[in-house]
């Protein structure tokens, strides 16, 4: 029974990621056939061998851990400040008038352009990278929280008041739970951005992490190592996204979308 369940899980995973598997097969076949310069695009098997070697000697796990720590720390700050700011904007007209123009201006700006400023102010340590991640991720979280909390069905509020919920408790007992799916959606948008910014800032500063791992490989003409870092980044991102989807399902198990997902 266990073996059959594992086979079914593998079959389902393969079906969901079939296009990715096809791309990886084509990568190996075309490079082995000599269609590409093997320095510019080494065979997948060569990349996997190099990645496995760096995994065994501890270099790759160390770089993944460095990137993951930056990602989580910067994202956590963005989640805390973003949800708080979005909630405050929905509760206070004064806060909305103050913060809405700032959010509107920050939304279209390429946030990575602020990295030189953060480096100038805070040096080349982890602080500018964490602030860069927080600055990038906080905007979608604020927007999602504000929209979610201001578009709650008025019948929820009326029903809660009829059942005796105090007015001062409506926001935390009714509005926030009702807006939770949209708030979590904003967090899901921000989480991959946190990883992207972490890797990019590591590349630009040459620091530890997957970005630094790849940029150092390019500097020393180690193309197989660079692609190994790319694959490690891809896998890390997939784990992050799937983990967040799992967490969303657990947090919203009470919500109607859980029943829809179960039915699908």
> Is the confidence at residue 5, as pLDDT, over 60?
yes
Model confidence at 103, in pLDDT bands (50, 70, 90)? confident
What mean pLDDT, rounded, does the chain reach?
A: 86
Q: For residue range 183-237, what is the model confidence (pLDDT) as tens digits?
A: 999 999 999 999 999 999 999 887 889 999 999 999 999 999 999 999 999 999 9
Residues 175 and 54 in one domain: yes
Read off the DSSP letter of residue 173. I
Residues 214 and 251 in one domain: yes
Write out the residue range of the structural domain in which residue 153 sits. Answer: 43-263
Residues 10 and 105 in one domain: no
Report the CATH number at residue 259.
1.10.3720.10
Residues 51 and 25 in one domain: no
Q: How many CB atoms lie within 10 A of CB 192?
A: 16
- Looking at per-residue pLDDT, the higher value among 31 and 161 belongs to 31
Q: For residue range 33-92, what is the model confidence (pLDDT) as tens digits?
A: 988 888 899 999 999 999 999 999 999 999 999 999 999 999 999 999 999 999 899 888
Residues 169 and 203 in one domain: yes
Torsion of CA 257, 259, 263, 264, to 10 degrees: 20
> pTM of the predicted model, to two decimals?
0.85
Q: What is the DSSP string of 127-157?
A: HHHHHHHHHHHHHHHHHHHHHHHHS--HHHH
Closest CA to 68 of 212, 209, 248: 209
Residues 255 and 132 in one domain: yes
Residues 23 and 152 in one domain: no
Residues in the chain, total? 264
Residues 241 and 256 in one domain: yes
Residues 97 and 28 in one domain: no
Q: How many domains does the chain have?
A: 2
Residues 139 and 14 in one domain: no
Residues 83 and 193 in one domain: yes
Residues 31 and 76 in one domain: no
Q: For residue range 121-164, what is the model confidence (pLDDT) as tens digits?
A: 988 888 999 999 999 999 999 999 998 888 877 776 767 667 76
């Amino acid at each position: 029974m266990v073996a059959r369940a594992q086979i079914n899980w593998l079959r389902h995973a393969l079906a969901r990621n079939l296009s990715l598997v096809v791309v990886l097969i084509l990568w190996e076949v075309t490079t082995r056939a000599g269609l590409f310069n093997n320095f510019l695009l080494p065979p997948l098997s060569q990349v996997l061998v190099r990645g496995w070697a760096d995994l065994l000697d501890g270099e790759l796990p160390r770089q993944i851990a460095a990137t993951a720590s930056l990602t989580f720390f910067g994202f956590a700050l963005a989640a805390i400040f973003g949800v708080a700011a979005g909630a405050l904007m929905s509760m206070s007209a004064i806060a909305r008038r103050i913060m809405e123009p700032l959010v509107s201006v920050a939304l279209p700006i390429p946030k990575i352009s602020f990295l030189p400023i953060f480096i100038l102010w805070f040096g080349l340590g982890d602080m500018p990278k964490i602030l860069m991640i927080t600055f990038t991720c906080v905007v979608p979280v604020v927007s999602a929280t504000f929209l979610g909390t201001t578009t709650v069905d008025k019948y929820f509020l009326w029903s809660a008041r009829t059942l005796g919920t105090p007015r001062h408790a409506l926001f935390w007992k009714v509005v926030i739970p009702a807006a939770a799916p949209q708030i979590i959606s904003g967090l899901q948008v921000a989480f991959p951005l946190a990883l992207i910014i972490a890797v990019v800032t590591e590349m630009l500063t040459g620091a530890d992490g997957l970005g630094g791992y790849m940029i150092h490989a390019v500097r020393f003409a180690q193309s197989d190592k660079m692609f190994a870092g790319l694959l490690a980044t891809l896998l890390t991102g997939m784990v992050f996204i799937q983990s967040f989807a799992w967490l969303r399902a657990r947090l919203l198990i009470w919500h109607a979308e859980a029943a829809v997902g179960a039915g699908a």
